[in-house]
Amino acid sequence: MPSTPSPLTALTPFLQEMIAQSPAYKDSEDVFACRATPHALRDLLLEDLTEQPATAQAVWEGIPKRLLPYCVNMNSPRFMGFGDTGADPVSLVAGIFAPWLSRT
């Protein structure tokens, strides 16, 4: 009898895609791909809730297209601000896996 994959196992392809797409953003020399006023960002990002829950994949598909272009890339050699988060690739990978190690 085939078993149903656990919710975590079902997320594996989504996690692999997210990890595969992320370096392109961090490797960019652009600090911002796009700039917008606060009101324009609000209008872009806020929308009515759907009647049905969204899948993790559907949520992720909106992030590279709608959110990342407006985020600050502190890894860019053109970034002149104070980097208060780690841009080191090893630190980023560790940050992804740290919550998985918690047993609470």
Reported as a pLDDT band with limits 50, 70 and 90, residue 59 is: confident
Q: Find the mean pLDDT for residues 50-76.
A: 81
pLDDT > 70 fraction of the chain, expressed in percent and rounded = 88
Per-residue confidence (pLDDT) for residue 37, from 0 to 100: 92
pTM for this predicted structure:
0.58
Q: Find the mean pLDDT for residues 79-86.
A: 68
| E strand or H helix that includes residue 93 | helix 89-97
Q: Which of 83, 62, 65 is nearest to 74 (CA)?
A: 83
Quote the CA–CA distance of 47 and 12 in Å, as a whole number. Answer: 28
Mean pLDDT of the chain: 79
Q: Find the mean pLDDT for residues 76-94.
A: 72
Reported as a pLDDT band with limits 50, 70 and 90, residue 87 is: low
